Every structure is written in C-alpha cells, then in structure tokens.
Amino acid sequence: MHKPLSQYLDLANPQNLQAYQSTGGYEGFTNALKMQPQEVQQQVSDAKLKGRGGAGFMTGMKWSFVPMGEDAPKNKYLVCNADEMEPGTFKDRWLMEGAPHLLIEGMMIAAYAIGADVAYIFLRGEYRLCATRLQQAIDEAQAAGLLGDNINGSQYSLKLHLHTSAGRYICGEETALINALEGKRANPRAKPPFPQVVGLFGRPTIVNNCETLCNLPGILKNGADWYTQISDGADTGSKIFGISGRVKNAGLWELPMGTSARHILELAGGMQDGLTLRGWLPGGASTDFLLAEHLDTPMEYDAIAKVGSRMGTGVIIALDDQHCPVGMILNLLQFFAQESCGWCTPCRDGLPWAVEILTRIEAGQGSQDDLDVLQQLCGFMWIGKTFCALAPGAVEPLRSGMKYFADDFQQHIDHKGCPHRH
C-alpha cells in the first residue's frame, strides 16, 4: 500500500530539509501555490480526509467555514493541535519526532488554503525531543525561503511558531487550546461563535490535529483520487493505528483506513503468553470498551460507532483477563478528574465523586447503592449536560465497563474485595 506518512519517517535520524526534498518533500506545497486557496480546499474535500484527532470531522468542510475573499479579515491563524495527552495515544509524537518536515509542509498547505499568515504548533510540553526536532526543521525551512515573506517568489507569506504548552489535558479541546495560546486559563469557550470565524485573538482560526496535517502533502502531491484509493472502506486514506497493553509488541503502524482491530492485534504479536484479550478501547482512554467479539469491526468512524464506541485516535488499549477492569477504570477516571478544568459543575464535582466511589469498590468497601450512583453519575456527565466533551469522554469507559464487566463490579461488592488481586 501507499504510505504517505511513514515513508518519510525515521526516528533515529529524521530527514533534514535536503533529504526530505529528495524524496518529494514540499512538492505538495509547491503544487498548492499554483492553485487558488479554494481549489486547495476542494482537493482536500475530494480526498474525503477526516480529522485524525478523534472527532473525525471532514477537514475540507471545516476549512470551508473560514471567511474567504476580499472582504474576509486580513489576519487569520492556523494552529496545529499537538498537545497529545490522551492516555494510550502516542501517534503524533511518532510523527513529529520522525518526520518533522512532513508536519511543517502540511501546516503550510493548510495555512495557504485558508489564507492564514501566521501558524502555531501547540506542542505538549513534555515532548522535548519533538520540540528540538521541530524547531530545527522550522529553522531550515526559514533559511531556505520556504517560510517567511513571498515564499517561492509568490505573494504568499507565512510565519510559523513553535509553542510548548504548560500542560493540561483540556488543551486538547480546541477553544481551551486557543485560550491557553492567548495566555489565558485553559477553559473551553462557548460556541457559537466557532473558531473558524472568531478564534485566536478574535480572528478566524483553524485548529487541526498533527496527523491530519501530515496527510496533506501526499494529497496535494498525488491528488485526491490517489488518496481515496489507499483504502477500500468507507473512510479514505491511511491511518496511524497502534496498540498498548499486555500485548507482545506494543507499537504503531500505518495502515489503510478500515483495517480490522484483529489485524492490529496480530501485528502486535497477540496477547502475552498466558493472557487472553477481554476488552479493548478503540482509540484512547475516552472511548467505550468493546469485546473480543468486536475485533473484526473495521477501524472506521461509522463502523466503530455502530458497535457502540468511537474510533477516537485509533490507538487501542487492550485489557487482558488477568487485569481488573474496575481497577483499570479507576485509573482512567483518576486521570480525568485531575485534568478537569473545573469550569462546569458536572465535570468538576462528578468525576472526583466517581473516583471516590470506585476507590471504595476496588478496596472492598463498596455497597450496592454505589453501583446505582455510578450509573446516575454517567447520566449527569453525558453529552449535552457539560460545557465540553471532557466529562462525556471520561465516563465512556465507566458506563461501558459497567455494562460489559458487570460481574466484576458485583463481585467486588459481594466478596468485599478485588477478585483479581492475588
């Protein structure tokens, strides 16, 4: 298969500018400069590229909401969301460490498509090697005239800045990210207005995930038809899939969209000896559990939704039969409770309350009423009840875990302790 992302990737010695250009790097951006911005938007729409950050929204459609033309605001911004803090997800780090110029070219294409003259990489602060390699690549592109004023002799100019985040999971929400980039507390904003119209510093802004942007050079270099043919499924292109947990070889692979979860597990060598897969989260910690019977489901947004979960980031977390699901869910909820921005009551108070109850249950001090309260909390923190999607995502493993692993929860109550603790 074509591998528009990993063909450029070298973790040990990432390509410098000259090496990247020798393998076709920046040809996509050169092609984009020969087109009108709206034509670039149309090509990405024709490629049917969906956002790779988790929501799976059509990239070209998202761009189409940005005001264009002579009457549009003169200052627009593009922001790369590289604040990768989803537990179990490490795909963007892989791309940024191994192919920094690929991300920069993707950002240049996206910025040109929406008419942005300033772009930011909003990078997770702990990704220090990413920061070093990205800044080196930015400096190389700047020195070669690929960034700055009148790029390649055109009328287009772009300044690209690297911003290392001070942290917080909530910065993965695009409006909280924008607030943080402005130097404010990272709380989500009310929508509307949407960032495409009123975003960073009150100007039209597009926030795209790192992996989404890395797909653009291939599309602009080879065309939309080429991209749609990579996958035979409903969703187009390739995807960085991966798996963690007690498998033999946890890792990442670039595969066609629609690849089954079973194939990803096979690439990892299966579960470790003596262990059996009991459940799996399809795309990071904020997705619903699925079971072994769902392994043949294509890793596509609609297909995963039909069996009761979300594809999310596409990086699977595997649960084995010797690991306590209650303990795993408690671990995840502790993270989300800590990372709540505290802006709305259901999230601020509901998540710590759920952690308190789960802690008692795991310690063998839970009651039957605790299970009823946990179910109620899942409802209080569900979609439409909170200011942003953090709490609904946080309770996805809890509500699905209580559905699929009800016996484990009940055994904790009945036997006053964790049956998996030896």
**Per-residue pLDDT reduced to its tens digit, 25-77:** 999 999 999 999 999 999 999 999 999 988 889 999 999 999 998 888 889 99
pLDDT the model gives residue 299: 96
134 close to 92: Cβ distance less than 8 angstroms: no
**Predicted confidence (pLDDT) per residue in 350-408, tens digit:** 999 999 999 999 999 999 999 999 999 999 999 999 999 999 999 999 999 999 999 99
Per DSSP, the three-state class of 280 is strand
**Predicted confidence (pLDDT) per residue in 318-335, tens digit:** 999 999 999 999 999 999
Band (101; pLDDT cuts 50, 70, 90): very high
Tokens read off for 292: 């072994």
* Residue that finishes a domain, picked among 196, 228, 260: 228
Q: CATH number for the domain including 34?
A: 3.40.50.11540
The three state secondary structure string of 148-198 is ECCHHHCCCCEEEEEEECCCCHHHHCHHHHHHHHCCCCCCCCCCCCCCCCC
As a dihedral over the C-alpha atoms of residue 244, residue 279, residue 402, residue 379, rounded to 10 degrees, the angle is 60
315 and 350: one domain? no
pLDDT the model gives residue 71: 87
pLDDT of residue 421 exceeding 80: no
pLDDT of residue 422 exceeding 80: no
Any domain includes 420 = no
Residue among 200, 208, 104, 122 at smallest CA distance from 167? 122
Residue among 193, 207, 220, 192 at smallest CA distance from 116? 207
pLDDT the model gives residue 1: 55
Any domain includes 82 = yes
Tokens read off for 103: 């991300």
Any domain includes 365 = yes
Amino acid making up residue 265: L
Task: Tell me how many domains the chain contains.
Answer: 3
Tokens read off for 84: 């990768």
The mean pLDDT value for 203-218 works out to 97
Q: CATH number for the domain including 331?
A: 1.20.1440.230
129 close to 136: Cβ distance less than 8 angstroms: no
334 and 315: one domain? no
Residues paired with residue 123 on neighbouring β-strands, in sequence order: 82, 164
Any domain includes 419 = no
Within 10 angstroms of residue 349's Cβ, the number of other Cβ atoms is: 16
345 and 372: one domain? yes
Domain extent, residue 257, equals: 238-320
Q: CATH number for the domain including 272?
A: 3.10.20.600
Q: Are strands 205-209 and 77-82 parallel, antiparallel or unpaired?
A: parallel
22 and 99: one domain? yes
355 and 389: one domain? yes
80 and 198: one domain? yes
Query: Measuring CA to CA, how many Å separate 154 from each of 5, 32, 158, 217, 233?
Result: 27, 11, 11, 19, 39
**Predicted confidence (pLDDT) per residue in 161-199, tens digit:** 999 998 889 999 999 999 999 999 999 999 999 999 999
pLDDT of residue 156 exceeding 80: yes
pLDDT of residue 3 exceeding 90: no
247 and 367: one domain? no
Tokens read off for 296: 């043949």
Report the chain's mean pLDDT, rounded to a whole number: 95
26 and 68: one domain? yes
Place of tokens 């939704």: 305
pLDDT the model gives residue 232: 78
As a dihedral over the C-alpha atoms of residue 89, residue 94, residue 100, residue 104, rounded to 10 degrees, the angle is -30
Percent of the chain whose predicted confidence (pLDDT) is above 70? 99
**Predicted confidence (pLDDT) per residue in 86-98, tens digit:** 999 999 999 999 9
* Residue that finishes a domain, picked among 195, 228, 261: 228
370 close to 378: Cβ distance less than 8 angstroms: no
CA 64 to chain centre: 21
271 and 386: one domain? no
pLDDT the model gives residue 268: 97
Band (281; pLDDT cuts 50, 70, 90): very high
Any domain includes 216 = yes
**Predicted confidence (pLDDT) per residue in 230-257, tens digit:** 987 889 999 999 999 999 999 999 999 9
43 and 172: one domain? yes
127 and 19: one domain? yes
* Residue that finishes a domain, picked among 300, 320, 340: 320
Query: Measuring CA to CA, how many Å separate 157 from each of 85, 111, 213?
Result: 32, 10, 19
120 and 47: one domain? yes
